[in-house]
Amino acid sequence: MTTAGPDGERPAPAAPVRGGIDTPATWHRVHPASPLVRGWLALVAVYVVFGRDWLQNAVQSIADPGSRAPGPAALPVWVIVLVAVVPLAIVLVAFLASWWFTRYQVTADHVRINSGILFRQNRQARLDRVQAIDINQPLLARLLRLAELKFEVADAGESAMRLSFLRLDQTEQLRATILGRAAGVRGAADHPDVIPSAPERAVLVVPPHRVLGAAVFSGMTAWLVVAAVATLLPAVLSGQPLAVAAVIPVVFGAGTAYWAFFTRSFNFRVAHSPDGVRLHYGLLETHAQTVPPGRVQAVSVHAPLFWRPFGWHRVEMNVAGYGTSGGEQNARTVLLPVGTFDEVLEVLALVLPHPGVGDPVAIFRAGVHGTGTATGFTTAPRRARWLDPLAFRRNGYRHTKTALLVRTGRLTRRLAVVPHERTQSVALQQGPLQRRLNLAHVLLHSTAGPVKPVVPHLSADEARRLFTDQAVRAARARRLAGPEQWMLQNASPAAGDGVPDTDLPGPAPGDRS
């Protein structure tokens, strides 16, 4: 729906599917059903609070006519109207007002959203800073063929910009428009401002039985067994059966965690498009994420202890703006909830540049499951066993032409991969026991997210060497990195910068070429 701008200029006519450049006078509204999709729970809560006692008394009067409880017929008409109509009217007026005062526009360089009734909020985001864009469909929105468009800009965190709700086809077209302009592309010659949706190629699908098995054979199950035994044992020893009720909160909490994992990982699909990596998942509420090329700051591969007999792994990522707070944010950082090693390699190839080594499969396999220095990893010295007796032979790192690989953990094996140009900063850390043993940590700082690369317990000399070399590699790679608009051709290195061609980062697999 289209409306006039803030100065009263004449609005542009509404189009079935919009995608052109909006003028400063052109503003659009979200779908009129948006208040219902956002606020139906609040409406139900109002009736539960105000109508519960009345409904209970009505049922009691019908079951026992001789009771003094006032039934529906005993209540004045104005009371029934007050209870039934006034809350509905208040909620509808509030929701309709919020819908009326929410407007947006997409220009050649920015997205602007104005919202608020008493306290107005005007937000603006540069298209070339878009880090990721999602299409979310809660259950009611799916029934109405509506969707929410949510996109992140750098360091947006929980303040991501949202358009709730639009028609599904309109949402998909708006996503294509934002991603296309963020990439620096234009439409056809006859309609240069309208950018069609990019096709996608299916990469892999996670079957539901594997998701269920991953939930059952997880650390949550081990925690549930331990908590149940610790709760039930006092009841058995004391001979008081009522003490068994103490296990109910434990079971309820574990069931909630199981349900959250299953619903967020159900029907998980990974696809590739010129716009980047697309992730589809969800049971009742569906999500479609798009992460453009070069927006992934770091990736980690986990091989939990109870998953290793099945050969399962989990892949997570850092994306600027996602953060780590809240269940929704944590779900959005998952690149692969549970997959085989071959599937891990497939998704890594979508978001990371080519490592520039002769046998990348062997390198990544050694990073996830290997120990020692046979594959070129530099590991912690033997004296580190006093601080980390289980994993000191695994802890280590290896750098390639395009990324630094950090290998840690013994029970839960982890491999963190940070492209050189995505290294935000490097730090050395040394505690009192480490100083005694001449050891040190090397920390690679990335954007907020689940991946926190740390090379633990290196010898102090090796840690200082890694600290210096990685800072140089990161600065050089960032200087030679391509533009933010990934569809524009990379500029060639400036003459005389002294960097050989063999050190150039390889193109990301999602780049169009």
69, 99, 129 — which closes off a domain? Answer: 99
Check whether residue 217 and residue 175 sit in a common domain: no
Chain segment 243-282, per-residue pLDDT in tens: 667 777 878 888 888 999 999 999 999 999 988 899 999 9
Chain segment 385-406, per-residue pLDDT in tens: 999 999 999 999 999 999 999 9
Check whether residue 460 and residue 493 sit in a common domain: yes
Check whether residue 493 and residue 473 sit in a common domain: yes
Q: How many domains does the chain have?
A: 4
Check whether residue 9 and residue 43 sit in a common domain: no
Q: Quick one: what percent of the chain has pLDDT higher than 90?
A: 43
**pLDDT at residue 213, rounded to an integer:** 95
Angle at 400 between CA 396 and CA 402, to 5 degrees: 125
Residue 399, beta-bridge partner list: 404
286 phi and psi, to 5 degrees?
-100, 150
Report yes or no on 280 lying in a domain: no
Residue that the structure tokens 């574990």 belong to: 254
Mean pLDDT over residues 14-19, rounded? 40
**pLDDT at residue 190, rounded to an integer:** 63
Report yes or no on 420 lying in a domain: yes
Check whether residue 72 and residue 183 sit in a common domain: no
> Which CA distances in Å does 202 have to 52, 86, 279?
50, 51, 10
**pLDDT at residue 503, rounded to an integer:** 37
**pLDDT at residue 8, rounded to an integer:** 40
Mean pLDDT over residues 86-114, rounded? 78
Residue that the structure tokens 């009345």 belong to: 54
Residue 504: pLDDT over 60: no
Report yes or no on 40 lying in a domain: yes
pLDDT band at 369 (very low <50, low <70, confident <90, very high): very high
Mean pLDDT over residues 107-135, rounded? 85
Check whether residue 175 and residue 310 sit in a common domain: no
**pLDDT at residue 137, rounded to an integer:** 94
User: Whose CA is closest to 341, among 377, 288, 284, 302?
Assistant: 302
Which token pair is 335?
Answer: 């690149």
Residue 195: which CATH number? 2.30.29
Check whether residue 411 and residue 481 sit in a common domain: yes
Contact present, 503 and 401 (Cβ < 8 Å): yes
Mean pLDDT over residues 371-381, rounded? 90
Residue 419: pLDDT over 90: yes
Mean pLDDT over residues 449-471, rounded? 95
**pLDDT at residue 212, rounded to an integer:** 95
Give 325-381 as a DSSP string. Answer: -SHHHHHHTEEEEEE-HHHHHHHHHHHS----SS-HHHHHHHHHH--SSTTS-EE--
Which token pair is 228?
Answer: 């149940």
Please, which residues have CB within 8 angstroms of residue 400's CB and are 6 or more apart in sequence? Answer: 355, 356, 357, 363
Check whether residue 440 and residue 332 sit in a common domain: yes
Check whether residue 181 and residue 42 sit in a common domain: no
Q: One-letter amino acid identity for 308?
A: R
Which token pair is 274?
Answer: 């010129």
User: Whose CA is closest to 490, among 277, 294, 197?
Assistant: 294
User: Whose CA is closest to 176, among 50, 48, 40, 19?
Assistant: 19
Residue 325, beta-bridge partner list: none
User: Whose CA is closest to 489, among 465, 512, 509?
Assistant: 512
Domain that holds residue 23: 2-30+102-204
Global pTM reads 0.81
Mean pLDDT over residues 346-356, rounded? 92
Check whether residue 62 and residue 81 sit in a common domain: yes
Q: Which of 20-24, 37-41, 133-137 has the highest mean pLDDT?
A: 133-137
**pLDDT at residue 80, rounded to an integer:** 61
174, 189, 204 — which closes off a domain? Answer: 204
